[in-house]
Amino acid sequence: MVAVGSEAPHFELPANGGKTISSKDFAGKTVVLYFYPKDNTKGCTTEAQEFRDNIEAFTNAGAVILGVSRDSVKSHENFIAKQELPFDLISDKEETLCKAFDVIKEKNMYGKKILGIQRSTFVMNGDWQLVQEWRNVRVKGHVDKVLAHVQGEE
């Protein structure tokens, strides 16, 4: 499992807009990488909207937002269009990035045990070092905490 202060896992995965996004694309930039369970679900939509509504503040703080789920690129395209998201969503269908950040966890869904993404957010600095993490996140107030961190107010 990746630890704060260590180098974060590198990746190259498909994203919206026919792009392939690589961690190497962000050398010298602060990256907020947030993992969420599923496009177009209540909590995930609220979280995406809060990142969207604060994009100017994140950009002014020099941070790039990237969302990650196991949804397909097509699902991401629809989610972005519907919510007018100004940031990229990465498709991790094979769970390689999810596993690298250890966010695949057993969950209880209506009495059934399933494996799913535990809502989590990670901040990497320009040297791709993990500088902050939030695991098992509750949506309410979370984006504010992330923003405070990247603005140096935490």
Write out pLDDT tens, residues 66-115.
Answer: 999 999 999 999 999 999 999 999 999 999 999 999 999 988 778 888 88
Task: Report, as residue numbers or ranges, the catalytic residues.
Answer: 44
Residue 122 in domain? yes
Strand arrangement, sheet containing 30-35? 88-91, 63-69, 30-35, 120-124, 130-134
Residue 21 in any domain: the answer is no
What is the pLDDT at residue 154? 58
What span, in angstroms and rounded, lies between the C-alpha atoms of 51 and 66? 10
What rounded mean pLDDT belongs to the chain?
Answer: 94
Residue 124 falls inside a structural domain: yes
User: Looking at residue 112, which CATH number applies to its domain?
Assistant: 3.40.30.10
Residue 18 is assigned to a structural domain of this protein: no
Positive or negative torsion for Cα 29, 68, 13, 115 = positive
- End-to-end alpha-carbon separation of the chain, Å? 24
Distance (Å) of CA 51 to CA 45, 67, 93, 112: 10, 10, 23, 31
CA torsion sign for 74, 75, 81, 82 is positive
Flag whether 13 is in a domain: no
What is the tally of structural domains in the chain? 1
Q: What is the pTM of this model?
A: 0.95
What pLDDT is recorded for position 109? 72
Of 88, 79, 68, residue with least CA distance to 18: 88
